Amino acid sequence: MDQQVKENGNCSGRVVEGPTNPMVTPLLTDLYQFTMAYAYWKANKHHERAVFDLYFRKNPFGGEYTVFAGLEECIRLIANFKFTEDEISFIRESLPGSCEDGFFNYLRGLDCSEVEVYSIAEGSVVFPKVPLLRIEGPIAVAQLLETPLVNLVNYASLVATNAARHRFVAGKSKMLLEFGLRRAQGPDGGISASKYCYLGGFDATSNVAAGRLFGIPLRGTHSHAFVSSYMSPDEITDKSLRSADGSSSCEDLVSLAQTWLSKIQWSSSLRGIFGETNQSELAAFTSYALAFPISFLALVDTYDVMRSGIPNFCAVALALNDLGYKAVGIRLDSGDLAYLSCEARKFFRAIEKEFGVPGFGKMSITASNDLNEETLDALNKQGHEVDAYGIGTYLVTCYAQAALGCVFKLVEINNQPRIKLSEDVSKVSIPCKKRSYRLYGREGYPLVDIMTGENEPSPKVGERILCRHPFNESKRAYVVPQQVEELLKCYWPGSSDKPREDLPPLKDIRDRCIKQLERMRPDHMRRLNPTPYKVSVSAKLYDFIHFLWLNEAPVGELQ
């Protein structure tokens, strides 16, 4: 990063680092942002002050809430927004040869020092139509930001919401592991997924790069290939293991495990459940235990869960127990997870009882294999003994709905409000530079979000205010808020002297997200037929929207 960029990243005396992904540059935008910038420049209109709202129109996954994420990466881009000479050359090549030099000089000096960014805090629960970010600045610059900002917020919010929904179904007590890297949409589809699933309430990831970049706890043990790669216990050359307290040593963990295996096989309570187990699997488990005696967790479904995997695992776990080590548990990656987890639990409890090993019955059971909201829900309904879920494909690709439709709409230019009309009412934009507030009720739940004009007085605690649906005149309600929270805060003051909000660490954003989700009224959160949360405008803004709408829309003529 060159000095110029560093200085640029500095605002209010604090340096903002560049985007996590070095591919996020001012060129990561649509060509039309440059053609428009040129046209604005050519018309000497590029400096005109515009206000854009970034928002979405519909909550994803059939739900009634969304988790907002991606803000930090947006601010990192904005703070370091500067074209290199190479980039300017490329833009020049990409535009018609008739474009004038002055424009490229303009690009050379362009940064976000004239741009102000207001945003809802990252990790907040958010709703359709309410601006997530409000970008104010010279229209040409604000337009250049459209594509990357929408890109950075869209997937981040979508996958964070997906994670929150999985957490909701799994319940608070379960461990949720994100295992999606291999199926994610590209390398940083994977890295972003790990970051934002953690933000949305997951506990850990398998993705080492994400663990390093964001400090997310890492989890993982071994795969089927590890098990298949062993042929027999004879392969293991160094079979010795020191006891956990270092006081003694076992010369042959393989034999010890084999001894335990036959004890299990002939124990009164487990007799007949299995016959000969797969010996290459036993070899793999023993080898893994020799490498990780303090954290032994085995994948038990390579051959047959109940007839091979579980008995082999228990034999190795009991051998470790003899040496003072406590095995962690098993992972199931196929089959009927509800049934198998219950059978495994019974087996573990029988071992605890039969051999007097306290805690063995509580051995952790992790389930994976194409899990999603529906399968978690089905597991809950069937009854299961799973302690942790490893979730990949459906989580990170947001298989149930692969995109959130964030948009970036011009709401004001030169202090003139603008509206975007559409025959589809849900696509009409809400004009004006606005403020927005969340109003809380007596029981502490958020009741309604309300947008007002920039200069309207803010709603006050204990004072009745009329909240109107922005487009449906019959939908309106009086609210007496018990708490009023202004939603948009300044995260990038540009050249103004407004105080700038800090970018909190990921862990704090995650905590905020979890707290906000817990504070919602339960009927907004349920999976089936959730109640829509109300989003409204003030009476004054309502009137203005409809005045502007009538003003702009052409009058039809029936023929």
Question: 247 to 306, contacts with a second copy by CB under 8 A?
Answer: 275-276, 278, 287-288, 290-295, 302-304
The count of C-alpha atoms lying within 13 angstroms of the C-alpha of 556, restricted to the half-sphere facing its C-beta, is: 3
Q: What are phi and psi of 221, to 5 degrees?
A: -130, -85
According to the binding rule CB under 8 A, does residue 190 interact with a second copy?
A: yes
Q: Report, in Å, the least distance between residue 393 CB and a second copy.
A: 5
Distance CA 340, CA 335 (A): 8
Size of the chain, expressed as the number of residues it contains: 559
Q: Toward a second copy, which CB reaches closer, 421 or 539? A: 421
According to the binding rule CB under 8 A, does residue 545 interact with a second copy?
A: no
Candidate residues 22, 109, 358, 462; the one interacting with a second copy per rule CB under 8 A: 22
Candidate residues 405, 441, 453, 504; the one interacting with a second copy per rule CB under 8 A: 405
Retrieve residue 198's tokens: 């953690």
- Phi-psi category of residue 222: left, alpha or beta, with phi > 0 → left and psi -120 to 50 → alpha: beta
Near a second copy in 23-52, by CB under 8 A: 23-25, 27-36, 38-40, 42-45, 48, 50, 52
Residue 530 Cα to chain centre, angstroms: 21
Contact 176, 467 (CB under 8 A): no
According to the binding rule CB under 8 A, does residue 307 interact with a second copy?
A: yes
Candidate residues 14, 58, 108, 212; the one interacting with a second copy per rule CB under 8 A: 212
Candidate residues 90, 102, 463, 531; the one interacting with a second copy per rule CB under 8 A: 90
Q: Report, in Å, the least distance between residue 112 CB and a second copy.
A: 18
Candidate residues 119, 154, 366, 375; the one interacting with a second copy per rule CB under 8 A: 154
Distance CA 84, CA 27 (A): 10
According to the binding rule CB under 8 A, does residue 312 interact with a second copy?
A: no
Identify each DSSP E strand in 232-343 by its residue range. 241-242, 249-250, 297-299, 329-332
Candidate residues 21, 84, 267, 364; the one interacting with a second copy per rule CB under 8 A: 21
Near a second copy in 367-396, by CB under 8 A: 393
Retrieve residue 33's tokens: 């942002």
- From residue 503 to residue 542, the character string flagging contacts with a second copy as x (rule: CB under 8 A) and all else as - is ----------------------------------------
Near a second copy in 93-132, by CB under 8 A: 94, 96, 98-99
Retrieve residue 151's tokens: 């890109």
Candidate residues 113, 364, 397, 482; the one interacting with a second copy per rule CB under 8 A: 397
CA distances, 12 to each of 34, 118, 407, 492 (Å): 29, 15, 29, 9
Q: Report, in Å, the least distance between residue 218 CB and a second copy.
A: 5
Region of 10-18, 141-149, 257-265, 459-467 interacting with a second copy (CB under 8 A): 141-149
According to the binding rule CB under 8 A, does residue 211 interact with a second copy?
A: yes
Q: Report, in Å, the least distance between residue 90 CB and a second copy.
A: 5
Distance CA 339, CA 337 (A): 6
3-class state of residue 332 by DSSP: strand
The count of C-alpha atoms lying within 13 angstroms of the C-alpha of 348, restricted to the half-sphere facing its C-beta, is: 23
Q: Toward a second copy, which CB reaches closer, 16 or 340? A: 340
Q: Toward a second copy, which CB reaches closer, 30 or 352? A: 30
Distance CA 13, CA 109 (A): 21
Q: Toward a second copy, which CB reaches closer, 166 or 524? A: 166
According to the binding rule CB under 8 A, does residue 410 interact with a second copy?
A: yes
3-class state of residue 409 by DSSP: strand
Q: Report, in Å, the least distance between residue 412 CB and a second copy.
A: 10
Q: Report, in Å, the least distance between residue 140 CB and a second copy.
A: 10
Q: Toward a second copy, which CB reaches closer, 395 or 467? A: 395
- Cα dihedral value 286, 290, 294, 298, nearest 10: -30
According to the binding rule CB under 8 A, does residue 420 interact with a second copy?
A: yes
Candidate residues 271, 427, 464, 498; the one interacting with a second copy per rule CB under 8 A: 427
Q: Toward a second copy, which CB reaches closer, 253 or 357? A: 253
Q: Toward a second copy, which CB reaches closer, 231 or 477? A: 231
177: β partners:
204, 390
Region of 105-113, 161-169, 207-215, 339-347 interacting with a second copy (CB under 8 A): 207-215
Distance CA 499, CA 521 (A): 33
The count of C-alpha atoms lying within 13 angstroms of the C-alpha of 32, restricted to the half-sphere facing its C-beta, is: 2
Burial category of 226 from C-beta neighbours within 10 Å (exposed 0-12, middle 13-18, buried 19 and up) = middle
135: β partners:
52, 117
CA distances, 315 to each of 36, 54, 264 (Å): 69, 57, 7
Distance CA 524, CA 344 (A): 36
Region of 162-170, 418-426, 452-460, 541-549 interacting with a second copy (CB under 8 A): 418-426
Candidate residues 4, 12, 105, 223; the one interacting with a second copy per rule CB under 8 A: 223
Q: Toward a second copy, which CB reaches closer, 97 or 356? A: 97
According to the binding rule CB under 8 A, does residue 187 interact with a second copy?
A: yes
Distance CA 357, CA 339 (A): 24
Q: Which amino acid is at 160?
A: A
Q: Toward a second copy, which CB reaches closer, 15 or 553? A: 553
Q: Which helix (H) or strand (E) holds 541?
A: helix 539-552
Candidate residues 7, 234, 235, 486; the one interacting with a second copy per rule CB under 8 A: 235
Near a second copy in 332-371, by CB under 8 A: 334-335
Retrieve residue 92's tokens: 């020049």
Distance CA 399, CA 361 (A): 36
Candidate residues 92, 113, 114, 147; the one interacting with a second copy per rule CB under 8 A: 147
Near a second copy in 167-186, by CB under 8 A: 179, 181-186
Q: Toward a second copy, which CB reaches closer, 94 or 458? A: 94
